[in-house]
Amino acid sequence: MQRRADKPNARTATATASIAAPAAKPKVPPVVDEVQDLAAVPLGRASDEELMRRTQQGDKQAFSLIYERYSASVLSYLYRMLGSVEDVESIGQEVFLRAFRFAPTYRYPQKLSTWLFTITRNLAINQSRRRKRSPVRNITELNLEGVEVSSDPYQVATRATDNVEKQEEIGRILEALEDLPTDQKEVIVLGVFQDLSYAQMEEITGTKAVTLRSRMFHGLKRLGRMMGGTVDESKGDAV
Amino acid sequence: MPETIDIDADPFLKLLTDALRAGPGSPDWHQAVSRLRSGGERNLDEYNMLIAARERLESGRGYREIRPGPAFTRKVMDGIDAEPPPGRRALPTANLIAILGAAVVLVVLASVGFWLLHGPPAANPGEDLSNAYFGTTVADATFNAPLPPAWRTLGPAPLDPARGLRPTTLPATTASSADYDGGGVVLTNGIPADQAFAVEASFRIQHVTDDVIPELFVTDQPDFDADRATSAHELVWLVREGHAKVVLPDQQFAGSSEKVTDGQSLTVRAIIGQNTAQLVSGRHTIWSGPSQLAGDRPRYVGIRVLRRGNEKKDRDAVIVQSVKVMQR
């Protein structure tokens, strides 16, 4: 099942506008800017799309809120995919500079997260290609938080549970994640860690949803096999 | 365990992959796990293994989760502050490329449309005529026998057509030494203007002198002058002042010239289209362009020799060895 729950219903919006002005019955339905009604909403509570509309008009404060909402997500994605802190720093900055620079290319009703992760992914791919050509890197400074703890799978596992056995399993599966083929790892990172729907991933990667589902399936299967294929019956339904 | 899966054909696989993405706690997860617990699905072990792997991943969601530090944020915001407002910048490169591409396509379509409506563009003389092949000889003369009937003689200066075309007598005594007399041969029948043709003539220049001027001409007005055997509107190749040259119907020299020396043999080839022409002297194209000949009147091809003075040595200065007219 694909999720496009956030996509607004243009027909409904048009109908609402007509009811609001019963005296004037225009022959041509009025053009309704579906995000315009949100202009009165305080900036901090404005939707991503409204913030982007303001950014397109040159509002840098609106863009700083977008940065606040997405910086951790973008940087974590880059770290998970590239595995290099210095790459994350340089590419992460570039992502937000480009997002601001090319804000006019964003078109509502595309989800901002989809648009932003498309930029992020493209830059990450370019960086991966560059790294293959020149692998020598210099770390100059660390301007990111949480790097030391989060980069070690076993430290993450320790924080996740007190059960030593489980910690070992989690640590191993996170470690195994690094060894997955890039296309399978990407679907897991985008879908599981970044919580993006298949529809969004389809838009970001240009790969059909059915293929992405297949990659998710096989990626997790591979991780399961690396773990020895054990099935934990005691865990059951987590709902 | 199957290596390939057909998600479109199996609704449960679709539900399962939705559950694997959304993770524990989601409605899809609850539904998928319930289905697995009921035991109705094939590959139960495999699916349970997937569920278990996904649960472990959920526990490790903090893996490589990072946040920007103040220094990073400051760098980004400094970069944003340095940027001009996004609405005022030029179009993105991709848009520019798209616009330019669309413009090129429009220009090409407009050109093709214009070409279809108005016919092909005017012929480029160099291209059109130089690529043409003229394989059918319609008239020729080798000047070693009496003149073939396709040709007739011109002008007061008598020429011997049987030993190479050359003057046989001195110029008329009535002419002053500064004036030229002309004699030559011309095709009896004109060639329709819309039929391209080539004329090729071989000359032997024994002795370069302006007292004897060989000419190859194509005219659309075959009313020849009684003294010089010239016409009022003709395209001419000639040797003068030691150089082969081209004179257009408007009496202007055109193109480049080619130096001619004593004892030189020259083959001249003129290719005549309806509106354009090309002159090749020896191995060089010395002129090509609009011929200025009328596009609706027949063309007459001829060889002419102009003479002045009465120097005996000039009698054999120029010998025309052959002329041949060819069509496609």
User: For residues B34, B36, B39 and B42, what is the CA-based torsion angle, rounded to 10 degrees?
Assistant: 150
CA distances, A45 to each of A63, A82, A104 (Å): 13, 32, 22
Taking alpha carbons only, the member of A197, A183, A191 closest to residue A1 is A197
Residue B114 domain-assigned? no
Chain B residues touching A104 at Cβ < 8 A: 86-87, 89, 92
Q: Specify the higher pLDDT residue, A91 or B135.
A: A91
Who among A55, A173, A197 is closest to B60 (CB)?
A173
In contact, B125 and B277? CB cutoff 8 Å: yes
The yes-or-no verdict on residue A30 having pLDDT over 50 is no
Comparing CB atoms, the residue among B20, B52, B73 nearest residue A232 is: B52
Task: Give the β-pairing of B212-219 and B300-307.
Answer: antiparallel
pLDDT at res. A233: 37
**Contact residues on chain B for A218, CB-CB shorter than 8 A:** 5
Name the minimum distance, in Å, from the CA of B24 to any CA of chain A.
6
Does any domain span residue B134?
yes
* Nearest chain A residue (CA) to B15: A1
Question: What is the token pair recorded at A14?
Answer: 């048009």
The pTM for the full model equals 0.49
CB contact under 8 A, A58 and B17: no
Say which amino acid occupies A158: T
Looking up tokens 């001619």 gives B260
Tokens of B185: 């041969």
pLDDT tens digit string along A51-66? 999 999 888 999 999 9
The Cα of A58 is separated from the nearest Cα of chain B by a number of Å equal to 5
Distance from C-alpha of B46 to C-alpha of A222, rounded to nearest angstrom: 11
- Is residue B118 situated within a structural domain? no
Q: How far apart are the two ends of chain A, measured CA to CA in Å?
A: 19
**Which tokens hold the place of B290?**
């609009």
Residue-wise pLDDT tens digits, A194-205: 999 999 999 999
Q: Please tell me which of the candidates A55, A144, A157 has its beta carbon nearest to residue B69.
A: A144
- Crossing angle for the helix pair A60-82 and A85-101, to the nearest 10 degrees: 150
DSSP code of B157?
Answer: S
For residue A109, say if its preceding peptide bond is cis, omega within 30 degrees of 0.
Answer: yes
Residue A136 has pLDDT above 60, yes or no: no
Residue A8 three-state SS: coil
SS3 label, residue A163: coil
Residue A205 three-state SS:
helix
Selecting from A56, A193, A220 the residue whose C-beta is nearest the C-beta of B53 gives A220
Q: Give the per-residue pLDDT at B99.
A: 87
Common-topology check for domains A34-133 and A148-226: no
Preferred mutation among B43, B48, B66 to probe A, highest tally of A CBs within 10 A = B66
* pLDDT tens-digit readout, B214-267: 999 999 999 998 888 899 999 999 998 888 899 999 988 888 888 888 888 888
Whether residue B251 is contained in a domain is answered as yes
What was the pLDDT predicted at A216?
95
Q: Is B155 inside any structural domain?
A: yes
* Residue B102 in domain: no
Q: How far apart, in Å, are the Cα atoms of A37 and each of A25, A86, A153?
A: 21, 42, 46
Pairing, β B181-187 against β B276-281: unpaired
Residues of A in contact with B24 (CB under 8 A): 238-239
**CA of A63: which chain B residue's CA is closest?**
B80
Q: How many CB atoms lie within 10 A of CB B250?
A: 8
Q: Which of B81, B103, B134 is the last residue of a domain?
A: B81
The yes or no reply on domain A34-133 and CATH 1.10.460.10 is no
For chain A, the C-alpha Rg in angstroms (whole number) is 22
CB-based contacts of B304, cutoff 8 Å, min separation 6: B154, B155, B182, B183, B184, B214, B215, B216, B217, B229, B230
Nearest to A58 among B58, B85, B95 (CB): B85
Residues of A in contact with B69 (CB under 8 A): 142-145
Residues of B in contact with A155 (CB under 8 A): none
Q: Do A150 and B64 touch (CB under 8 A)?
A: yes
Chain B contact for A200 (CB, 8 A cutoff):
no
Residue B186 falls within a domain, yes or no? yes
Min Cα–Cα distance to chain A from B35, Å = 11
Give the whole-number percent of chain A exceeding pLDDT 70: 69
Question: Into how many domains does chain B fold?
Answer: 2
Residues 6 or more apart whose CB falls under 8 angstroms from that of B19 comprise B26, B28, B29, B31, B32, B33, B51, B54
The reply to whether residue A63 touches residue B80, judged by beta carbons under 8 angstroms, is: yes
Strand pairing of B159-160 and B253-259? unpaired
Give the DSSP letter string of B167-210: E-SPPPTTS-TTS-EEEEEEESSPBPTTS-EEEEEEEEESS--T
Instruction: Return the CATH number at B176.
Output: 2.60.120.200
What digits encode the pLDDT tens for the residues A104-125? 999 888 899 999 999 999 999 9
pLDDT for A220: 93
pLDDT along chain B (328 residues), means of 10: 66 92 93 87 85 87 84 91 73 77 90 74 52 83 85 85 73 58 90 92 89 92 89 92 90 85 88 90 84 92 87 79 90
Q: Locate the domains of chain A by residue range.
A: 34-133, 148-226
Query: Which residues, 6 or more positions from A136, have their beta carbon under 8 angstroms from its beta carbon?
Result: none
Pick A144 or B289 by higher pLDDT.
B289
B163 lies in a domain? yes
Do B220 and B144 fall within a single domain? Answer: yes
Residues B131 and B225 in one domain: yes
pLDDT band at A231 (very low <50, low <70, confident <90, very high): very low
Residue A232 has pLDDT above 50, yes or no: no
B297: domain range? 126-327
* DSSP state at residue A145: E
Q: Are residues B152 and B273 in the same domain?
A: yes
Query: How close does chain B come to A9, measured CA to CA in Å?
Result: 24
Q: Is B53 in Cβ contact with A216 (below 8 Å)?
A: no
How many whole angstroms separate alpha carbon A120 and alpha carbon B272? Answer: 67
- Which residue, B44, B65, B81, sits at the end of a domain? B81
CATH class of the A148-226 domain in this structure: mainly alpha
Burial of A212 (0-12, 13-18, 19+ CB in 10 A): buried
Q: What residues of chain A, 98 to 127, have a C-beta less than 8 Å from chain B? A: 100-105
Asked if B71 lies within 8 A of A143 by C-beta distance, the reply is yes
Instruction: Examine the domain organization and report whether B14 and B143 are in the same domain.
Output: no
Amino acid at A133: R
Q: Which of residues 12-51 of A touch B (CB under 8 A)?
A: none
Instruction: Between A69 and A86, name the one with better pLDDT.
Output: A69
Closest CA to A110 of A5, A7, A1, A2: A7
Interface contact flag, A192 B23, Cβ < 8 Å: yes
